[in-house]
């Protein structure tokens, strides 16, 4: 192959590259900007296929969808000067793509790199807004989403030296919600209190989102749609003692319930024993009464029979005595032959 043929191949390759670089595609999920010599020529390009000047025009694409970013955990002080560890996340999107590329991109054309840079720039702004909101609220207002009185020892992490501590959204919210439900039951306004609790939390989150959005929309072209707190917890250095206190409180409640159960069991057992004694005594009294009445009736019958035929009665009683006396072969009796006992054995008429 000669030099001319090589030149032809090179020329065809260059033309092919120029042809491929002469158009670009914008997807439905993208936001794109056309730049010429680092100057923005066209912004907010609609999805479709477009032509551009090869080797001169550049197309910068970024994700136009709603994005979510987990903010690194930070510690904030409440109005009570209690430190809480907070995990939050933010949902955001690019509202002004030109401003976003100019402020965040700084000449870059890689959309993924610009998103990473945008997250890094969002973190300090969100943390600052959260710090401001937490500093104006108590622990209960942050966790439970409402105001109200709560014992100081329940929210004081230093009290763990005496009894343990408290928890936060995972640990705290469980106890907070139990107290909240008890208040709801007492007041008889379940839905109203729940709505108030949710409204307070919404106000807190909306305040953070509005504060961050006011700065980012103008400076970075980013719209902060929402900011949410995932978890609120005590710092790691007191968390162990917090759970120790919770376990101690639960153990104390369990012991109190067991003591009440044992007291009730003893009361029931004593009542049952007393009822048993009374029932047995009444039955014994009735039995003795019936037995006495029976003996009296039997004695009366015997008396009437004896008075009717005294000789037959003597004979009958003698037969009973003989039957009971001679019931066993081993019995031994020493009696005089002319004893009254053998009266009817000697003479059927009982004559002596």
Residues of 157-178 as b/e, b for ≥16 C-beta within 10 angstroms? bebbeebbbbbbbebbbebbee
Residue closest to 349 by CA, chosen among 322, 312, 317: 312
pLDDT tens-digit readout, 217-262:
888 888 999 988 888 887 777 767 777 888 899 999 999 999 999 9
Strand partners, 87: 231
User: pLDDT averaged over the chain?
Assistant: 76
Q: What per-residue confidence (pLDDT) applies to 161?
A: 36
How does residue 316 score in pLDDT terms, banded at 50, 70 and 90? confident
Q: What per-residue confidence (pLDDT) applies to 6?
A: 74
> What is the distance between the alpha carbons of residues 232 and 139, in angstroms, rounded to a whole number?
10
CA 230, 235, 241, 242 torsion-angle sign: negative
Provide mean pLDDT across the span 161-183: 47
**Is the pLDDT score of 162 beyond 50?**
no
Strand partners, 69: 90
DSSP string, 82-100: -EEEEEEEEEEEES-HHHH
> What is the distance between the alpha carbons of residues 300 and 288, in angstroms, rounded to a whole number?
18
Q: What per-residue confidence (pLDDT) applies to 284?
A: 95
Q: What per-residue confidence (pLDDT) applies to 182?
A: 59
> What is the distance between the alpha carbons of residues 275 and 287, in angstroms, rounded to a whole number?
18
pLDDT tens-digit readout, 331-343:
676 766 666 766 6
CA 57, 60, 61, 66 torsion-angle sign: negative
Of 54-63, 112-121, 158-167, 171-180, the least confident: 158-167
Q: Does domain 66-257 fall into CATH 3.40.1450.10? A: no
> What is the distance between the alpha carbons of residues 144 and 229, in angstroms, rounded to a whole number?
12
Of 10-19, 69-78, 149-158, 257-266, the least confident: 149-158
> What is the distance between the alpha carbons of residues 212 and 91, in angstroms, rounded to a whole number?
12
Q: What per-residue confidence (pLDDT) applies to 253?
A: 93
Residue extents of the structural domains in the chain: 1-63, 66-257, 319-352
pLDDT tens-digit readout, 4-40:
777 777 677 666 666 566 777 888 888 887 877 777 7
How many other CB atoms sit within 10 Å of the CB of residue 82? 19
Highest mean pLDDT among 82-86, 123-127, 308-312: 123-127
Residue closest to 137 by CA, chosen among 84, 58, 100, 195: 84
Q: What per-residue confidence (pLDDT) applies to 347?
A: 63
Q: How far is CA 81 from CA 126, 135, 148, 158, 334, in A?
A: 20, 8, 17, 12, 111
Q: For residue 69, what is the enclosing H or E element?
A: strand 67-77
How does residue 43 score in pLDDT terms, banded at 50, 70 and 90? confident
pLDDT tens-digit readout, 290-302:
999 999 998 888 7
Q: What per-residue confidence (pLDDT) applies to 95?
A: 87
Residue 63, classed as helix, strand or coil, is strand
Q: Which residue has the higher pLDDT, 51 or 344?
A: 51
């Amino acid at each position: 192959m000669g030099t001319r043929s090589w030149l032809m191949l090179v020329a065809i390759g260059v033309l092919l590259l120029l042809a491929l670089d002469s158009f670009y595609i914008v997807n439905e999920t993208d936001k794109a900007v056309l730049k010429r010599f680092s100057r923005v020529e066209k912004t907010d390009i609609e999805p479709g296929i477009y032509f551009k000047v090869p080797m001169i025009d550049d197309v910068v694409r970024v994700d136009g969808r709603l994005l979510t970013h987990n903010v690194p955990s930070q510690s904030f002080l409440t109005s009570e000067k209690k430190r809480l560890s907070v995990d939050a996340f933010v949902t955001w999107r690019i509202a002004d793509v030109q401003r976003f590329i100019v402020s965040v991109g700084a000449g870059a054309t890689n959309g993924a790199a610009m998103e990473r840079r945008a997250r890094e720039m969002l973190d300090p702004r969100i943390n600052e807004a959260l710090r401001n909101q937490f500093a104006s609220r108590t622990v209960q207002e942050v966790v439970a989403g409402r105001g109200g009185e709560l014992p100081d020892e329940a929210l004081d992490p230093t009290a763990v030296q005496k009894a343990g501590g408290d928890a936060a959204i995972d640990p705290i919210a469980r106890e907070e919600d139990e107290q909240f439900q008890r208040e709801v039951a007492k007041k008889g306004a379940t839905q109203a209190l729940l709505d108030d609790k949710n409204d307070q939390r919404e106000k807190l989150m909306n305040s953070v989102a509005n504060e961050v959005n006011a700065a980012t929309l103008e400076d970075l072209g980013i719209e902060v749609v929402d900011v949410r707190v995932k978890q609120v917890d005590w710092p790691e250095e007191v968390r162990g003692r917090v759970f120790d206190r919770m376990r101690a409180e639960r153990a104390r409640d369990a012991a109190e319930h067991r003591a009440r159960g044992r007291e009730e069991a003893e009361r029931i057992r004593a009542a049952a024993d007393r009822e048993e004694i009374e029932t047995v005594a009444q039955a014994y009294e009735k039995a003795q009464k019936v037995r006495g009445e029976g003996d009296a009736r039997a004695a009366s019958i015997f008396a009437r029979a004896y008075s009717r035929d005294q000789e037959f009665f003597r004979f009958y009683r003698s037969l009973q005595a003989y039957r009971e006396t001679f019931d066993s072969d081993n019995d031994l009796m020493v009696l005089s032959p002319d004893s009254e006992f053998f009266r009817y054995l000697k003479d059927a008429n009982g004559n002596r």
